Amino acid sequence: MNAPDRYERFVVPEGVKKVSYERDTKIMNAATFTVEREDHTIGNIVRMQLHRDDNVLFAGYKLPHPLQYKILLRRLSFARHASSNAVQIQTTSQSSPMQAYNQAINDLDKELDHLKSQFEGELAKHTRDY
């Protein structure tokens, strides 16, 4: 079989960064974020969080190949077109690629912490009732 070992889906190889950032030199305020060992779960949730930002005009993502365990996120400012090999984010001049990405991650972290607290509270309440 040509499929890679299953552990390769989760374990980041030695010397490889979990998240890397590459500035796009062809488009002003554009960048590509590569997130290793992730799939549609992270790609879609980050894309949707980026859509909530008023400075983001467009966001998308792509998994390059089913056997490559990474997602590509791309963030653009003032660009009117998008490359087909990345998650693309188009923003106003009020935000940089790194700012929009970091804000999305921080907002998701807070939202998930809140969700966890609510879940644990409800679970404790129902556990006491039984």
> What is the DSSP code string of 41-109?
HHHHHHHHHHHHSTTEEEE-EE-S-TTS-EEEEEEEES-S---TTSB-EEE-TT--HHHHHHHHHHHHH
Residue 30 has a pLDDT of 74
Residue 112 has a pLDDT of 96
φ, ψ at 88 (rounded to 5°): -115, 135
* Helix axis angle, 97-129 to 40-52, nearest 10°: 110
- Per-domain residue ranges of the chain: 16-129
Residue 109 has a pLDDT of 97
Instruction: Give the residue ranges of the chain where pLDDT is below 50.
Output: 77-86
CA angle at residue 121 from 112 to 39, to 5 degrees? 25
For 32-55, what is each residue's pLDDT tens digit? Answer: 788 888 888 888 999 899 889 888
Residue 114 has a pLDDT of 98
Residue 10 has a pLDDT of 80
Residue 2 has a pLDDT of 73
| CATH 3.60.10.10 assigned to 16-129 | no
